[in-house]
Amino acid sequence: MSRYEFGIMDTAPEKGVRYDEYDPESFRRLVSVTDDYFEPYIHLLKGRLYLHTLDIESDTIEWTGINLIPPETCKEFAEILRTAPSELSPDTPEGISEIWELKNLLKEAYNEQKFIKLFGI
């Protein structure tokens, strides 16, 4: 099973720097979500994002790359996950737990005004 991994960046990304490395050990907390549980939400998650660098802005998640999610978008995404239609909710306890952990990580990043680095599948 493929997974999306989300980690809070302790240091804000800088313009002109690429964040291409898969470096999960650099995060104090990493949340991993199975693609089957996350993908039903992807079409809802629209907001300001950056692809690999602050120099490439996007409004949708790049499934297979690295996304940098700014704090204000973390707040929007957490709210979307909270209010999404129930038919999108995972039908297993582990799926519900993974989405709940992601929502909490997004809220934590917003509260701390930190970016999240998302590693796509």
Interval 37-51: pLDDT, tens: 998 998 889 899 999
User: What percentage of the chain reaches a pLDDT higher than 90?
Assistant: 66
Cβ contact 70:51 at 8 Å: no
CATH number of the structural domain spanning residue 59: 3.40.1760
How many Å from the N-terminal Cα to the C-terminal Cα in the chain?
A: 10
| Full residue range of the structural domain in which residue 28 is found | 3-119
| Total tally of structural domains belonging to the chain | 1
Q: What is the pLDDT of residues 3-17, one digit of tens each?
A: 999 999 999 999 999
Q: Could you tell me the pTM of the whole model?
A: 0.91
